[in-house]
Amino acid sequence: MPEVEKNTPPRPYPSQYVRPWAAKNGDRVTIRPIRPNDEPLMVKFHETLSDRSVYLRYFSSLSLSRRVAHERLLNICLCDYDREMALVAERTDPTIGECQIMGVGRMSKLHSGNEAEVAVLVSDRFQKLGLGHELLRRVIEIAHDENLSSVSAEVLPDNIAMQVIVKHLGFRVRTSEDLSSVRAFLDL
């Protein structure tokens, strides 16, 4: 008889990664792993993104309707924390008293299991406040805690901001032969 596969219980919410942070403009921010009920906030977050930011993150003009498709967001918000980690940065909008997501940092383990791909996306309104740098720094910290050996990111050659950030964080940067992309690597 075939052996019955044992289901491993899902990993509990990694609350050790919930921590405050202060933006350069003084905004008080909470950076925390994404939760299943973040879908409505993620829809609003995507509505704030410029075409340019979307292009720099996804390397194509992924439409808003595709970005906020329920299936897609469900996958992102119901994250298997053993396989990937999405951190959101949230603040309370003082004018309406509602929470809003300012940016997202992600780490997805590759098949090898001890390497991961990382990426960051900050809402246009909150760019240049140090958030992209802080989200990536925290994602790297988590990768380190999870005993990964390295992380890498794919960056478009004209994405100067991201190249500044990865260099600050100690990544090695390599441009592809056809100059179409830049790959950044960090050994942990």
Give the residues lining the site for ligand COA (CB under 6 A): 53, 56-57, 119-122, 127-133, 153, 155, 159-162, 164-165
Cα separation, 43 vs 28, whole angstroms: 22
Residue nearest to ligand COA (CB): 132
CB of 143 to ligand COA, least distance (A): 15
Q: Which residue's structure tokens are 């219980």?
A: 9
95-100-102 Cα angle (round to 5): 115
DSSP label at residue 28: E
Residue 77 or 184: the one with the smaller Cβ distance to ligand COA is 184
Nearer to ligand COA, 80 or 158 (CB): 158
Q: Which is nearer to ligand COA, 41 or 131 (CB)?
A: 131
Instruction: Choose between 13 and 62: whose C-beta lies nearer to ligand COA.
Output: 62
Shortest gap between Cβ of 57 and ligand COA (angstroms)?
Answer: 4
CB of 155 to ligand COA, least distance (A): 6
> Pairing between strand 28-33 and 84-93?
antiparallel
| Residue 15 phi, psi (nearest 5) | -70, -15
Residue 14, SS3 per DSSP: coil
